[in-house]
């Protein structure tokens, strides 16, 4: 993997994460926005400008690819490179979560949520 891409996307913004996560199945921008709102109980709302700017950048960087266009809606899907970056980010998030609820290096859990 290109180390420049890794520096750009890891750690990933919340917006980029949800877009890439949703594109594990083919989807268009409007559908991604609805899925993210539903997934997050309306706590994360991606504006159209942010959505389409991020999709364009991710496509240019090779993380996603355009697979179809239906009624003027571009359908995208994650690429192998995008999946690799998403997997790295998921491992990072899992580590953060595990460390936040688990034992610290002294074997004590001082930070209950």
Write down the pLDDT at residue 44.
96
Average pLDDT over residues 49-71: 96
Write down the pLDDT at residue 102.
79
Joined together, the tokens standing for residue 84 give 């690799």
Write down the pLDDT at residue 101.
87
Q: Tell whether the model's pLDDT for residue 28 goes beyond 90.
A: yes
Residues 28/51, Cβ–Cβ less than 8 Å: no
Name the band, by pLDDT with cuts 50, 70 and 90, for residue 113.
very low
Residue by residue, DSSP assigns 20-60 as HHHTTS-B-HHHHHHHHHHHTTTS----HHHHHHHHHHHHH
Residue 68, beta-bridge partner list: 75
């Amino acid at each position: 993997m290109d180390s420049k891409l890794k520096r750009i996307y890891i750690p990933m913004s919340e917006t980029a994460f949800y877009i890439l996560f949703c594109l594990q199945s083919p989807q268009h921008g409007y559908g991604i926005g609805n899925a993210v709102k539903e997934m997050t109980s309306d706590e994360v709302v991606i504006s159209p400008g942010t959505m389409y700017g991020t999709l364009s950048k991710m496509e240019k960087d090779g993380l996603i690819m355009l697979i179809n266009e239906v009624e003027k809606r571009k359908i995208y899907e994650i690429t192998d490179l995008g999946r690799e970056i998403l997997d790295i980010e998921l491992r990072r998030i899992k580590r953060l979560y595990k460390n936040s609820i688990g034992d610290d290096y002294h074997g004590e859990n001082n930070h209950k949520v």
